[in-house]
């Protein structure tokens, strides 16, 4: 009788345990994606992200090299857990553009110099931090970008200029290195800009068509996004042919399926200064420096960022 | 008289080398006004000054297909080895698309950026052939899925030291400008050592001439490079009229034949020293170059691997616990057990001579010590190649190119002993070996269309693949389409 009771008690306990104890969840591996959110403007476009829309003249060209460093561009935190999946990201972007009249056609190729981060778990997901360096990836290029911009309304120096741009990202690289989605991506943008005396401004509103939706992986892309941003500054002439432009750029993206929520929106500010040639024709140089921080820290918006760019651009008289 | 001869020789050289885009380490060459390319187009519309360029942009596309006929082999991948050329019929291909950007930074300062896309499939996964791989593009690791990478990104600074003005014509990786015949040139960054060293105006650009890799440079020069043939480093060149002296140091791969590099260039490196003399013989130009190299890299010595295996047979190829090529032969020694900092030395001579207008002959020969494994290029320890290349001026097709050549490569005695015991070195090692010289005879004709596209046919007769008398000969037919813009 006692034995039978013990039997029932054990069975009851086993059922209770089975009902109340959750099996330890298996950690799902996160796959990686293109973490960079600094979608550089076209070579020769003036600002770092916005576009001055000042294309003019006959056949011209631009070559650019941009060096950027971002600290903690993918840092996961929920108050109790923290994981810097991508802690350091340095990228060199080389671009070339051809301009004619109000049109610009361009290509950018980005070479990761270092992408490093921590490996660990966050929630139900395991993350493998990237370990990209010049030594381990001596010839790596991430997604290539080709694009076209056009000024639809206004002259190259008018108060208000309106334009449009389209970009295609051609996948290249390795998702585990956090430098590509490994899928084609596209952007369509409405651009505006203007100059009034010493004041200069630019802005954009667009759509980033992104196939990758890795939800519910923390900090991952949620599909297509809305792009937005504005820039404004003072254009101060330093000589007949040179000017300094100082001013901030604020830009961000928000996923359509998580529209303007904190977890689906990244926002970043960049204080920029640039020294540039102001001639209408001939070869000119532009040197740009930007320092900024993430305002809303969805992926890609870093703790801080520094960007340095060199551009050579030529406008020719129309024949 | 001498000035006249020099002018004639220079003209011949210009005619011969015109309109050929640089793929691998091409020397500066004359820009062909008749060629169709982007820069000529701008120049003809007065939108670009080809003589004093601030920038230039060139491109090329090359697709090579090779068909290997079946051949005789008494054994293939014996005893679990993995590096034999498969005796069945096979097809290989490579496709490359390259863009060459050049930008003048300041007086004498230039920057070059060369992105490239490659798609490829080697014969037997590029295994089983030593110094004579049938398609030079296959030195670049790739896959059938096209992959974009950065092949070159470097700075070049030229310091004029006087002498006569020398016109540098606009070309891929060369801005149109005028330099001094006496000058110092510094190059720093990401490039292939073949951009600087072992130039040859006859074989010149392999995308225009021979298909086989053995004609690209010395087969036995184990120059430092990643698995695609490029590296980071620097070079200094001193030009003094007809003479040139070059020294360069490049970073080796982290492990033999892999993509990651060991950038501790002060610790592990490959040094090259070359002296060049340009001459005119019977009114026709030529050049002689002597090149010595010294590698200080983490590699394995063949005698060490054999000794380690004989002392302890558990140190065999199958049991490797460190970097290895994946051989399954447990009766063979392996270099994985004995890798440590070692030296490799070699010296070679490169001679070119034009023998008539638009017809040139060439010879290259190199002797390397043959004590250590291949680290970056191919496993040959001694090599020579020679042949002739002609442009079609004689038969009124000046853009056509034809060539015939022979190349041979050997391995050292200790290297052969190691392979005969079943060891693998890079991508050779049949599990057994009867030592012989590997060689190839090649014949090609490249037919030009529209001054910008070339269609080429090629035949290669390859004997003793993998330095093994037991295998081959192999017949390989090739076809190529090449475009420059």
**Spatial contact of A32 and A22, defined as CB atoms under 8 Å apart:** no
CA angle B149, B153, B159 (to 5 degrees): 165
Does the interface ipTM go beyond 0.85?
A: no
A94 touches chain B (CB under 8 A): yes
Contacts of A168 in chain B (CB under 8 A): none
A98 touches chain B (CB under 8 A): no
- Tallying the residues shown for chain B, one arrives at 485
Q: What is the pLDDT of residues A60-98, one digit of tens each?
A: 889 999 999 999 999 998 888 899 999 999 999 999 999
Contacts of B42 in chain A (CB under 8 A): 59
**Spatial contact of B482 and B19, defined as CB atoms under 8 Å apart:** no
CB contact set of B203 (below 8 Å; sequence gap of 6+): B209, B210, B215, B216, B352, B362, B387, B389, B403, B405
Q: How far is CA A44 from CA A237, B369, B481, in A?
A: 19, 53, 36
φ/ψ (deg, to 5) at A197: 60, -125
The distance of B331 to chain A (nearest Cα, Å) reads 33
The DSSP code for A17 is H
Give A205-251 as a DSSP string: EEEEEE--B-TTSTT--BS-EEEEEEEEEEEEE-SSSEEEEEEEEEE
**Spans of chain A below 50 pLDDT:** 1-3, 16-23
Give A242-276 as a DSSP string: EEEEEEEEEEEEEEGGGTT-GGGEEEEEEEEEEEE
A168 within some domain:
yes
Domain span at A282 = 40-315
CATH class held by domain B2-484: mainly beta
H or E stretch at A77? strand A60-77
Contacts of A312 in chain B (CB under 8 A): 54-55, 103
- Tallying the residues shown for chain A, one arrives at 319
**CA of residue B118 relative to chain centroid, distance:** 16
Q: Residue B149 is nearest to which of A61, A140, A319, comparing CB atoms? A: A140
| Residue environment code for A57-66, b if the CB has 16+ CB neighbours within 10 A, otherwise e | bebbbbbbbb
Binding-site residues on chain B for chain A (CB distance < 8 A):
42, 45-47, 54-55, 57, 101, 103, 113, 115, 147-151, 153, 190, 226, 228, 230-232, 254, 259-263
Q: Residue B259 is nearest to which of A138, A144, A314, comparing CB atoms? A: A138
φ/ψ (deg, to 5) at B123: -70, 130
CA angle B383, B388, B393 (to 5 degrees): 155
Give A261-314 as a DSSP string: -GGGEEEEEEEEEEEEE--SSEEEEEEEEEEEEEEE-STT--SEEEEEEEEEEE
The distance of A189 to chain B (nearest Cα, Å) reads 26
Q: State whether B55 and A61 contact (CB < 8 Å).
A: yes
Q: Which of B294, B297, B290 is nearest to B253 (CA)?
A: B297
pLDDT recorded at residue A6: 55
User: Cα separation of B441 and B460, whole Å?
Assistant: 6
Write down the residue that tokens 């820290």 correspond to: A297
* Strands B284-299, A144-153: pairing kind: unpaired
pLDDT recorded at residue B47: 81
Write down the residue that tokens 């590296």 correspond to: B231
Nearest CA in chain A to B141: A139
A135 within some domain:
yes
The distance of B258 to chain A (nearest Cα, Å) reads 10
Chain A residues 185-204 with a CB less than 8 Å from chain B: none
CATH at residue A77: 2.40.160.40
Q: State whether B232 and A111 contact (CB < 8 Å).
A: no
Q: Residue A135 is nearest to which of B47, B228, B263, comparing CB atoms? A: B263
A27 within some domain:
no
Q: How far is CA A118 from CA A72, A86, A129, B40, in A?
A: 10, 7, 5, 51
Q: Residue A96 is nearest to which of B45, B101, B153, comparing CB atoms? A: B101
Count of CB atoms situated within 10 Å of the CB of B90: 18
Q: Residue B228 is nearest to which of A96, A135, A139, comparing CB atoms? A: A139
Q: Residue B260 is nearest to which of A63, A136, A316, comparing CB atoms? A: A136
Q: How many CB pairs under 8 A join A and B?
A: 64
What is the pLDDT tens value at each position of chain B, 485 positions in all?
334 433 434 333 433 333 333 333 333 334 455 677 888 888 888 888 889 998 899 999 999 999 999 999 999 999 989 999 999 999 999 999 999 999 999 999 999 999 999 999 999 999 999 989 999 998 777 788 899 999 999 999 999 999 999 999 999 999 999 999 999 999 999 999 999 999 999 988 889 999 999 999 999 999 999 999 999 999 999 999 999 999 999 999 999 999 999 999 999 999 999 999 999 999 999 999 999 999 999 999 999 999 999 999 999 999 999 999 999 999 999 999 999 999 999 999 999 999 998 899 999 999 999 999 999 999 999 999 999 999 988 888 988 999 999 999 999 999 999 999 999 999 999 999 999 999 999 999 999 998 889 999 999 999 999 999 999 899 999 999 999 98
> What is the rounded radius of gyration, in angstroms, for the C-alpha atoms of chain B?
22
A286 touches chain B (CB under 8 A): no
**Spatial contact of A164 and A150, defined as CB atoms under 8 Å apart:** yes
Q: State whether A134 and B263 contact (CB < 8 Å).
A: yes
A146 touches chain B (CB under 8 A): no
Instruction: Count up the domains in chain A and report the number.
Output: 1
Q: State whether B150 and A140 contact (CB < 8 Å).
A: yes
A16 within some domain:
no
**Spatial contact of A236 and A244, defined as CB atoms under 8 Å apart:** yes
Q: Which of A256, A253, A264, A196 is nearest to A229 (CA)?
A: A253
A277 touches chain B (CB under 8 A): no
Q: State whether A109 and B101 contact (CB < 8 Å).
A: no
Question: What is the Cβ-side half-sphere exposure of residue B88, based on CA atoms within 13 angstroms?
Answer: 3
φ/ψ (deg, to 5) at B432: -155, 160
A15 within some domain:
no
Contacts of A141 in chain B (CB under 8 A): 115, 148-150
Query: Domain limits of chain B?
Result: 2-484
User: Cα separation of A261 and B198, whole Å?
Assistant: 61
Look at residue A175 and give its three-state secondary structure: helix
**CA of residue A212 relative to chain centroid, distance:** 15
pLDDT recorded at residue B18: 36
The distance of A54 to chain B (nearest Cα, Å) reads 20
Q: State whether A94 and B101 contact (CB < 8 Å).
A: yes
Q: A65, A112, A139, A315: best mutation site toward chain B, by most B Cβ within 10 Å?
A: A139
Q: Residue A141 is nearest to which of B54, B150, B230, comparing CB atoms? A: B150
A180 within some domain:
yes
């Amino acid at each position: 009788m006692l034995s039978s009771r013990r039997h029932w008690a054990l069975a009851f306990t086993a059922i209770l345990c089975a009902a109340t104890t959750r099996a330890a969840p298996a950690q799902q591996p996160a796959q990686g994606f293109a973490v960079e959110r600094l979608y550089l403007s076209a070579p020769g476009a003036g600002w770092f992200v916005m576009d001055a829309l000042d294309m003019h003249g006959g056949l011209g060209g631009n070559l650019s090299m941009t060096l950027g460093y971002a600290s903690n561009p993918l840092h996961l935190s929920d108050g109790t857990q923290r994981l810097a999946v991508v802690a350091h990201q340095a990228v060199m972007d080389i671009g070339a553009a051809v301009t004619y009249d109000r049109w610009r056609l361009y290509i950018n190729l980005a070479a990761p110099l270092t992408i490093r981060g921590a490996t660990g778990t966050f929630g139900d997901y395991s993350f493998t931090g990237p370990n990209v360096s010049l030594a381990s990836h001596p010839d790596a290029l991430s997604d290539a970008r080709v694009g076209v911009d056009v000024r639809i309304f206004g002259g190259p120096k008018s108060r208000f200029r309106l334009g449009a741009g389209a970009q295609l990202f051609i996948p290249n690289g390795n998702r585990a290195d956090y430098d590509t989605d490994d899928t084609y991506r596209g952007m369509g943008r409405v651009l505006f800009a203007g100059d009034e005396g010493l004041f200069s401004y630019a802005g954009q509103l667009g759509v980033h068509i992104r196939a990758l939706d890795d939800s519910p992986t923390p900090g991952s892309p949620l599909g297509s996004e809305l792009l937005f941003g504005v820039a404004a500054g003072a254009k101060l002439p330093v000589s007949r042919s040179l000017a300094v432009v100082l001013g901030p750029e604020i830009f961000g993206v928000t996923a359509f399926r998580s529209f303007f929520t904190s977890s689906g929106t990244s926002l970043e500010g960049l204080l920029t200064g640039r020294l540039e040639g102001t001639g209408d024709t001939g070869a000119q140089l532009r040197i740009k420096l930007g320092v900024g921080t993430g305002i809303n820290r969805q992926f890609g918006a870093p703790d801080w960022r520094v960007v340095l760019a060199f551009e050579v651009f030529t406008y020719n008289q129309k024949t | 008289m001498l000035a006249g001869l020099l002018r004639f020789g220079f003209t011949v050289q210009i005619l011969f080398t015109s309109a050929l885009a640089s793929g691998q380490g091409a020397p500066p060459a004359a820009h062909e006004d008749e060629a169709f390319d982007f820069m000529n187009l701008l120049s003809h519309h007065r939108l670009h000054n080809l003589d004093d360029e601030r920038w230039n942009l060139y491109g090329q596309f090359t697709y090579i297909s090779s068909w290997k006929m079946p051949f005789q082999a008494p054994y293939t991948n014996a005893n679990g080895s993995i590096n034999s050329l498969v005796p069945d019929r096979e097809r290989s291909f490579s496709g490359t698309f390259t863009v060459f950007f050049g930008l003048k930074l300041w007086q004498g300062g230039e920057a070059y950026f060369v992105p490239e896309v490659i798609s490829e499939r080697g014969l037997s996964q590029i295994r089983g052939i030593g110094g004579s791989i049938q398609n030079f593009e296959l030195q670049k690791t790739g896959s059938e899925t096209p992959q974009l990478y950065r092949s070159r990104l470097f700075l070049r600074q030229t310091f004029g030291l006087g002498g006569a003005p020398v016109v540098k014509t606009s070309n891929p990786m060369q801005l149109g400008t005028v330099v001094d015949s006496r000058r110092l040139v510094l190059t720093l960054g990401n490039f292939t050592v073949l951009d600087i060293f072992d130039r040859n105006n006859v074989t010149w650009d392999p995308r225009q001439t021979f298909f086989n890799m053995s004609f690209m440079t010395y087969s036995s020069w184990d120059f430092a490079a990643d698995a695609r043939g490029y590296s980071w480093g620097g070079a200094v060149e001193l030009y003094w009229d007809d003479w040139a002296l070059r020294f360069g140091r490049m970073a080796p791969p982290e492990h033999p034949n892999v993509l990651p590099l060991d950038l501790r260039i002060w610790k592990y490196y490959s040094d090259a020293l070359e002296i060049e003399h340009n001459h005119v013989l019977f009114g026709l130009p030529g050049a002689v170059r002597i090149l010595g190299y010294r590698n200080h890299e983490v590699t394995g010595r063949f005698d060490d691997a054999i000794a380690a295996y004989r002392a302890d047979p558990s140190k065999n190829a199958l049991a490797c616990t460190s970097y290895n090529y994946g051989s399954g032969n447990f009766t063979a020694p392996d270099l994985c057990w004995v890798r440590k900092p070692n030296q490799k030395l070699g010296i070679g001579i490169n001679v070119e001579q034009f023998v008539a207008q638009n017809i040139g002959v060439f010879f290259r020969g190199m002797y390397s010590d043959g004590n250590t494994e291949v680290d970056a290029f191919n496993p040959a320890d001694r090599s020579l190649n020679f042949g002739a290349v002609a442009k079609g001026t004689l038969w009124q097709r000046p853009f056509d190119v034809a060539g015939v050549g022979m190349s041979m490569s050997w391995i050292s005695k200790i290297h052969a002993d190691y392979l005969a015991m079943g060891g693998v070195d890079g991508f050779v090692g049949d599990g057994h070996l009867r030592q012989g010289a590997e060689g190839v005879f090649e014949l090609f004709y490249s037919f030009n269309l529209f001054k910008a596209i070339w269609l080429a046919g090629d035949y290669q007769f390859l004997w003793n693949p993998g330095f093994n008398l037991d295998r081959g000969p192999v017949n390989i037919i090739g076809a190529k389409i090449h475009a420059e813009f």
